[in-house]
C-alpha cells in the first residue's frame, strides 16, 4: 500500500517539479517585449491609478475644471507624440506599431477643446510645467531615439484602450454631458474590439527587433513615461487647488468688502 502511494506521490512531485521548472524557464526566457513592459511598469501603474485625478475618476466624480485641464494636457502630449510617430513612421521600431487610422487622438482632442473653450480655444488652453516637460521628452526622443517611442505609445494608447470607455462614461455622467459632447477623446471608431486590438498591438510590439541595450532603454523609457504622466496629473491637480484657493480668497474679499459697505 505504502509503496504504491509513495510511488504515486513521487510521480506527482516529479511532474510538478517539471512544470515549475518549465514556468521558471519560460519566465526567464520570456523575451516578449509586451510582457516585459507590463511587468516593469506594474508598480508605476498602481501609482498612476492612485493620483488624485485618477482617484476622482474611480469615485465617479470628475469636475468640469478637472476635465478641461486634463484635455489641455492631453492635447499637448498627443500633439508631440503623434508628430514624433508621424516623422518616424518608417523607422524599423516604429512602423510595426504605427496605427494612425485606429489610434490618433489629436483631432478628437481639438474638437473636444473647441467644444469647451470655443473657436479661440488655442489662445485659451492652459498647460502645466510637467506637461511641457513630457512633450519636450517626446520631441527629443523623436529626434534622438525613435526606438523609445514604442514605450510612450504603449503607455498612452494601451491605457486609453483599456480604460477609455469607462472614463468616458464617468465624464459624461459627472458633467451631465449629452452623448459624444466633448467626449471624442474616449471613442475609437476605428477599433471595433479593444481587446483584440490590444492583442494585435502586443504582437506587433513583440516583432520589433531590439539589441539588449535598446531593449533596456525601451523598458526604462516606459517607466519614465508612466512617471511623466503621474507628474502631469499631480501638476494639474496642484494648479486646480491653487485656482480654487484664489477663487475662495476672491469670494472672501468680495464678501468682506460687501459687509464693509453694509456697515
Ligand atoms: C491596462 C485600470 C490608469 C496605462 C489597464 C487595465 C486595467 C486598468 C483594468 C487592464 C489590465 C489587463 O488587461 O490586464 C486602470 C485604472 C486607472 C488606470 C482603474 C485609473 C483610473 C492608467 C494610466 C495609465 C495606464 C493613468 C498611463 C498613463 C495602462 C496600460 C495598460 C493598462 C499601458 C495596458 C497594460 C498591458 O496590457 O500591458 N489599466 N488604469 N492606466 N493601463 Fe491602466
The per-residue pLDDT for range 164-193, each reduced to its tens digit, is 789 999 999 999 998 889 999 999 999 999
How confident is the model over 28-56, as pLDDT tens digits?
Answer: 457 899 999 999 999 999 999 999 999 99
The verdict on the CB of residue 49 being under 6 Å from ligand 1 is yes
Q: Band of the pLDDT at 246, cuts 50, 70, 90?
A: low
> Does residue 8 have a pLDDT over 70?
no
Q: Looking at ligand 1, which residue's alpha carbon is closest to its atom 32?
A: 159
Burial code of 250-260, b = ≥16 C-beta within 10 A, e = fewer?
A: eeeeeeeeeee
| The CATH fold of domain 31-243 | Heme Oxygenase; Chain A (1.20.910)
CA 197, CA 189: separation in Å to the nearest integer? 12
Domain spans in the chain, listed from the N-terminal domain onward: 1-29, 31-243
Q: Against a cut of 0.90, is the pTM above it?
A: no
Distance set, CA 54 to CA 74, 227, 229 (Å): 14, 14, 11
The verdict on the CB of residue 158 being under 6 Å from ligand 1 is yes
CA 161, CA 95: separation in Å to the nearest integer? 20
Question: In the predicted model, what is the mean pLDDT of residues 6-17?
Answer: 43
> Does residue 255 have a pLDDT over 80?
no
Query: How far does residue 170's CA lie from ligand 1's centre (Å)?
Result: 16
The verdict on the CB of residue 38 being under 6 Å from ligand 1 is yes
Question: In the predicted model, what is the mean pLDDT of residues 235-256?
Answer: 65
The atom of ligand 1 lying closest to the CA of 41 is 33
The best mutation among 163, 199, 225, 237 to test binding of ligand 1, ranked by most ligand atoms within 8 Å of the C-beta, falls on 163
Question: In the predicted model, what is the mean pLDDT of residues 245-257?
Answer: 44
Give the ipTM of the model, two decimals please. Answer: 0.98
CA 114, CA 187: separation in Å to the nearest integer? 17
Amino acid at each position: 500500500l505504502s509503496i504504491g502511494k509513495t510511488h504515486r506521490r513521487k510521480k506527482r512531485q516529479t511532474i510538478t517539479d517539471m512544470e515549475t521548472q518549465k514556468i521558471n524557464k519560460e519566465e526567464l526566457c520570456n523575451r516578449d517585449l509586451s510582457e516585459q513592459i507590463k511587468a516593469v511598469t506594474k508598480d508605476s501603474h498602481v501609482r498612476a491609478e492612485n493620483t488624485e485625478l485618477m482617484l476622482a475618476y474611480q469615485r465617479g466624480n470628475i469636475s468640469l475644471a478637472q476635465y478641461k485641464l486634463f484635455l489641455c494636457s492631453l492635447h499637448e502630449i498627443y500633439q508631440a507624440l503623434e508628430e514624433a510617430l508621424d516623422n518616424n513612421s518608417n523607422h524599423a521600431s516604429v512602423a510595426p506599431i504605427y496605427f494612425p487610422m485606429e489610434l490618433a487622438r489629436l483631432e478628437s482632442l481639438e474638437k473636444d477643446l473647441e467644444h469647451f473653450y470655443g473657436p479661440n480655444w488655442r489662445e485659451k488652453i492652459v498647460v502645466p510645467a510637467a506637461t511641457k516637460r513630457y512633450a519636450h521628452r517626446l520631441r527629443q526622443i523623436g529626434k534622438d531615439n525613435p526606438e523609445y517611442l514604442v514605450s510612450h505609445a504603449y503607455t498612452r494608447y494601451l491605457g486609453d484602450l483599456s480604460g477609455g470607455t469607462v472614463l468616458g462614461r464617468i465624464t459624461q455622467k459627472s458633467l451631465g454631458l449629452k452623448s459624444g459632447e466633448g467626449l471624442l477623446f474616449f471613442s475609437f471608431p476605428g477599433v471595433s474590439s479593444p481587446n483584440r486590438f490590444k492583442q494585435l498591438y502586443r504582437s506587433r510590439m513583440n516583432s520589433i527587433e531590439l539589441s539588449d541595450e535598446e531593449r533596456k532603454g525601451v523598458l526604462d523609457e516606459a517607466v519614465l513615461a508612466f512617471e511623466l504622466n503621474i507628474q502631469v496629473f499631480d501638476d494639474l491637480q496642484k494648479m486646480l487647488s491653487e485656482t480654487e484657493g484664489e477663487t475662495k480668497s476672491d469670494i472672501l474679499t468680495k464678501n468682506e468688502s460687501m459687509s464693509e459697505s453694509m456697515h
